[in-house]
Amino acid sequence: MKTPTQTNAIDFDSAKLQRLGFGQPSLVPRRPTTITQLRQQLGLQLQTSLEPERILGVFFREIQRLVPLDALQYRHQASDLRLEFGHRGHHTVSYSLSHEGEHLGELIFRRNQRLVEEELGQLESLLATLLYPMRNALLYRAATRSALRDPLTETGNRIAMDQTLQREIDMARRHLNPLSLLMLDIDHFKVINDTHGHAAGDTVLRAVAAAIKSQLRNVDMVFRFGGEEFLILLSNTGRDAAAMVGERLRQAAQTQDYRADGTRIELTVSLGCSTLLAAESAESLLRRADSALYVAKREGRNRLAMAG
């Protein structure tokens, strides 16, 4: 059975905002009973957060004072952001939000009963209240992600790692789940820089990072730990499973086709693996992974060593 779909595009500019009643000061009642009152209240409520999930959650809850809905979905591909509230309905209507050429994501409303024209008009009027809150939230999200990412490899940086590691340890203990850490180092990376130049070295770093990410689950996290070192955090992963992941990463990195000036660069990586022990600190978990990596290098490189 084909799902009925209504698709709309909205581009809010200042003229349309004025047409929808913005820019006209008025008092906000405690319990709105008209679309004008609800729009005014939303305009205030949605400005109080920079979290997309909170903004859309409030919006979804409040608009149902006028237009009952079964679900709301939001997608913003550039931010890798997908949110969903409620339960799926048979009928959908979608809106592509943009402002002055800037894409602000796609909203999909779902309901078991088809939306009538009056309800669509109310939704479109209320959508105006999302414009600036979502734009600010997306800008804040982009700035935050940029501050926590290594610009060369598009992996997390040391700041992100420090923030994430303790949180993952706490979660693993709370839910009684295993947690493992892989420390990966590119073998003889200095030789690559000295022989082929730093531009080639940067290309290799990006390619190795891409190879690592291609082998991991969405829940796993990759950080650039040092110059040519990467740290991979494997949630809900015990010692044996982590060893299998480490070996897969080693092989994936080795089989990449690295080239500089038409010459193929032979490359291998070494890895150390540690799995969280009872009452172990983040510093100890890192230290044991680093010690295992040292063992892998001492024993000839291009291998995985497990912490004791």
Average pLDDT over residues 3-15: 45
Q: Given CA atoms 143, 145, 151, 154 in this order, what sign does their dihedral have?
A: negative
Task: Print the SS3 string covering 216-274.
Answer: CCCCCEEEECCCCEEEEEEECCCHHHHHHHHHHHHHHHHHCCEEECCEEECCCEEEEEE
SS3 call for 109:
strand
CB-based contact 65:38 (threshold 8 Å):
yes
SS3 call for 11:
strand
Average pLDDT over residues 2-22: 44
Asked if pLDDT for residue 6 goes beyond 60, the answer is no
- How far is residue 302's CA from residue 237's CA, in Å, rounded to a whole number? 23
Pairing of β 269-275 and β 263-265: unpaired
- How far is residue 204's CA from residue 4's CA, in Å, rounded to a whole number? 48
User: Could you give the residue numbers annotated as active site?
Assistant: 228
Average pLDDT over residues 236-260: 94
Asked if pLDDT for residue 104 goes beyond 50, the answer is yes
Would you call 104 exposed, middle or buried from its count of C-beta atoms within 10 A (0-12, 13-18, 19+)? buried
Residue 75 is encoded by which pair of tokens? 């997608």
Between residues 264 and 240, which one has the greater pLDDT?
Answer: 240
Asked if pLDDT for residue 18 goes beyond 80, the answer is no
Would you call 54 exposed, middle or buried from its count of C-beta atoms within 10 A (0-12, 13-18, 19+)? middle
Asked if pLDDT for residue 82 goes beyond 50, the answer is yes
Pairing of β 221-224 and β 229-235: antiparallel
Between residues 111 and 142, which one has the greater pLDDT?
Answer: 111
Report the pLDDT value the prediction gives residue 260, as an integer from 0 to 100: 85
- Helix, strand, coil in percent for the chain, rounding step 5: 45, 25, 30
CATH number of this structure's domain 5-146:
3.30.450
Asked if pLDDT for residue 31 goes beyond 60, the answer is no
Question: Looking at 38-47, 245-254, 285-294, which range is the least confident one?
Answer: 38-47
Asked if pLDDT for residue 303 goes beyond 90, the answer is yes
Q: In this predicted model, what pLDDT tens digit does every residue of 176-191 receive, in sequence order? A: 999 999 999 999 999 9
Between residues 88 and 96, which one has the greater pLDDT?
Answer: 96
Report the pLDDT value the prediction gives residue 144, as an integer from 0 to 100: 79
Q: In this predicted model, what pLDDT tens digit does every residue of 191-247 receive, in sequence order? A: 999 999 999 999 999 999 999 999 998 889 999 998 999 999 999 999 999 999 999
Domain ranges of the chain: 5-146, 148-306
Q: What percent of the chain has pLDDT over 70?
A: 89
Question: Looking at 8-22, 55-69, 134-148, which range is the least confident one?
Answer: 8-22
Asked if pLDDT for residue 9 goes beyond 80, the answer is no
Report the pLDDT value the prediction gives residue 209, as an integer from 0 to 100: 95
Q: Which CATH class is domain 148-306?
A: alpha beta
Report the pLDDT value the prediction gives residue 134, as an integer from 0 to 100: 92
Quickly tell me which residue has 């004072």 as its tokens: 65
Asked if pLDDT for residue 19 goes beyond 70, the answer is no
Would you call 132 exposed, middle or buried from its count of C-beta atoms within 10 A (0-12, 13-18, 19+)? middle
Average pLDDT over residues 52-67: 92
Report the pLDDT value the prediction gives residue 15, as an integer from 0 to 100: 39
Q: What percent of the chain has pLDDT over 90?
A: 64
Report the pLDDT value the prediction gives residue 33, as an integer from 0 to 100: 65
Could you tell me the pLDDT band of residue 262, with boundaries at 50, 70 and 90? confident
